[in-house]
Amino acid sequence: MHTTDVTDTSSHEVVIAGGGPTGLMLASELALAGVDVAIVERRADQTLAGSRAGGLHARTLEELDQRGIVERFLAEGQVAQRCGFASTKLDLSDFPSRHACTLGLWQNRIEHLLALRAEELGVHFHRERSVEDFVQDEGGVTIKTSEGLVLRAAYLVGCDGGRSIVRKRAGIAFPGWDATESNLLAEVEMSEPPPLGIHRTAQGTYSFGKRDYEIRNGEILYKDGGPIRVMVPEASASARGEPTLDELRAALIATCGTDYGLHSPTWISRFTDAARQAASYRDRRVLLAGDAAHVHSPVGGQGLNTGVQDAMNLGWKLAQVVQGVSPEALLDTYHAERHPVGARVLRYAMAGATLLRQDDGIGALRDTLGELLVLDEPRKRLAGDLSGLGIRYDLGPGHPQLGRRMPDLDLITDDGPCRVFSLLHDGRAVLLDLGGGTAGNASLARSSGRLRCLSARPVGPWELPVIGTVTPPTGVLIRPDGYVAWVGEGSARGLDEALRTWCGVHAA
């Protein structure tokens, strides 16, 4: 892993606090755009990552595909054409996406692959350090880290988790709901085999699984040997601090009547159903992403995916501001677009955690919702949100495609066939002329360093998740994160404003 030399001071255009999935994805996006970016990470190596999260949702896979790296993840994971809401499995097989699935892959492998990507792009790492404090001024941020290192940057992004020092030092409020239950999650060795699978009792839900498994016909099949991944409820929701092996042992005995001879923990962590969201994702030159901006129950596996998608939304915008392509006002769209998504994630996580509680009333509600969610319309609506495929940013009225992720259509161009996502590999915006005469503008050609312009003919129907088949536009402006910022319907009306707002370029 590339690490910067140990010095007392260092300067970068952007400093990221935290090298988890969100920080790694954001750093890679910035480096892809040519920004000098550094990560401050307390761990000495990415192999020390735990495995709290265990999957990538459909939209996250699409975004990795947009950068040409999704195959690295698919090669190591297990595909299931569904996503989960509490105990209900929602079918994704009829969603119009090349990645209409959830990929089972533990967080330590996700982080490893994202770290390799960051290394390939030349991201700097200040390891075995953490951000302790910072001071903002008109020209940038001076950041104090542990071990006496002082960093100077134009912007600081807190990707340092739910207890974010960056958020606290910035004074950004973190309103929400306190925990009503707490759970321990760990990977340990056990001398006695536990009952694998998910178990629900009056004391709460507990489970045993293994790191190595495969999905066959929709069922999880665990392989022999290896450590046990255990989740068990705690007696109190008020537990704090780093959990210990003795606390895990006591929780197992209270719930299961035995600790199964547990020993040799790889890692132990604690999570609750607390739900909180930063009041603002930005304070001048300081921004928040991932768990630093929103925390909630892990039910549904939304946390890691929401963080990675935060990074995709923020990365190109921050790069354009740092490089002087766009004004600082572009950063305000990060909060405007991602805060509502985070609020919706909190709502679903709270609902999902509630539905897993074991009492007769909740059981009746769970059964009732299960009957509704086999119907196409409610299933597609909920699965669209949970998978990320149905997200729409509010970019105003217009064609149904506006503000939604661009489908990965097959295209016929003058240079031969291609697909949409392949056009986004280098992280630039794309202006597609699909018959409206929008891509031949001479001024756009002079701006081709920031914008790719081409004429193409789509093959097949134009279909959107949840919405269905729509009338094909005559042109689209696709942002670097894959969302459509302008739709042409027979003319170039509105294109100049869209180019100025999102790309920092002008049509003639």
Q: CA–CA separation, 301 vs 298, rounded Å?
A: 5
- Amino acid type, 302: Q
Do 136 and 153 belong together in one domain? yes
Q: Is 150 part of any domain?
A: yes
Do 20 and 129 belong together in one domain? yes
Does 1 score more than 50 pLDDT? no
Indicate the residue among 229, 255, 272 that finishes a domain: 272
Indicate the residue among 257, 272, 287 that finishes a domain: 272
Length of the chain: 508
Do 294 and 157 belong together in one domain? yes
Q: Is 402 part of any domain?
A: no
Tens of pLDDT, residue by residue over 147-203, are: 889 999 999 999 999 999 999 999 999 999 999 889 999 999 999 999 998 888 877
Q: Is 206 part of any domain?
A: yes
Stretch 75-101: mean pLDDT, rounded?
94
- Backbone φ, ψ for residue 207 (5° rounding): -155, 155
Q: CA–CA separation, 46 vs 350, rounded Å?
A: 30
Indicate the residue among 220, 241, 272 that finishes a domain: 272
Quote the pLDDT of residue 351. Answer: 94
- Amino acid type, 231: M
190 contacts: CB under 8 Å, gap ≥ 6? 228, 260, 261, 262, 263
Q: Is 60 part of any domain?
A: no
Does 6 score more than 50 pLDDT? no
Does 52 score more than 90 pLDDT? no
Do 338 and 283 belong together in one domain? yes
**Dihedral, CA atoms, 78, 79, 84, 90, nearest 10 degrees?**
-160
Tens of pLDDT, residue by residue over 424-480, are: 999 999 999 998 676 555 455 445 577 999 999 999 999 999 999 999 999 999 999
- Amino acid type, 322: V
Q: What is the mean pLDDT of the chain?
A: 91
Does 131 score more than 60 pLDDT? yes
Instruction: Give the CATH number, domain containing residue 463.
Output: 3.40.30.120
Quote the pLDDT of residue 48. Answer: 58
Does 13 score more than 50 pLDDT? yes
Residues 489, 490, 496, 499, CA torsion sign: positive
Q: Is 93 part of any domain?
A: yes
Quote the pLDDT of residue 59. Answer: 98
Grade residue 54 by pLDDT with cuts at 50, 70 and 90.
confident
Contact in structure between 145 and 132 (CB atoms under 8 Å): yes
Do 26 and 138 belong together in one domain? yes
- CB atoms near residue 22 (< 10 Å): 31
Looking at the structure of the chain, the number of domains it has is: 4
Do 443 and 485 belong together in one domain? yes
Token digits for 349? 């996580």
Tens of pLDDT, residue by residue over 311-332, are: 999 999 999 999 999 999 999 9
Residues of the chain with pLDDT > 90, as a percent, come to: 77
Do 21 and 111 belong together in one domain? yes
Stretch 228-235: mean pLDDT, rounded?
91
Q: Is 64 part of any domain?
A: no
Do 33 and 151 belong together in one domain? yes
Instruction: Give the CATH number, domain containing residue 209.
Output: 3.30.70.2450
Q: Is 67 part of any domain?
A: no
Quote the pLDDT of residue 484. Answer: 98
Do 171 and 210 belong together in one domain? no
Quote the pLDDT of residue 2. Answer: 42
Do 46 and 158 belong together in one domain? yes
Do 166 and 282 belong together in one domain? yes
Q: Is 399 part of any domain?
A: no
Does 507 score more than 80 pLDDT? no
Quote the pLDDT of residue 242. Answer: 86
Range(s) of the domain holding residue 203: 182-272
In this structure, of 130-134, 233-237, 328-332, 365-369, the range with the lowest mean pLDDT score is 233-237
Do 444 and 459 belong together in one domain? yes
Quote the pLDDT of residue 472. Answer: 96
Instruction: Give the CATH number, domain containing residue 332.
Output: 3.50.50.60
Q: Which residue has the higher pLDDT, 24 or 242?
A: 24
Q: CA–CA separation, 251 vs 161, rounded Å?
A: 25
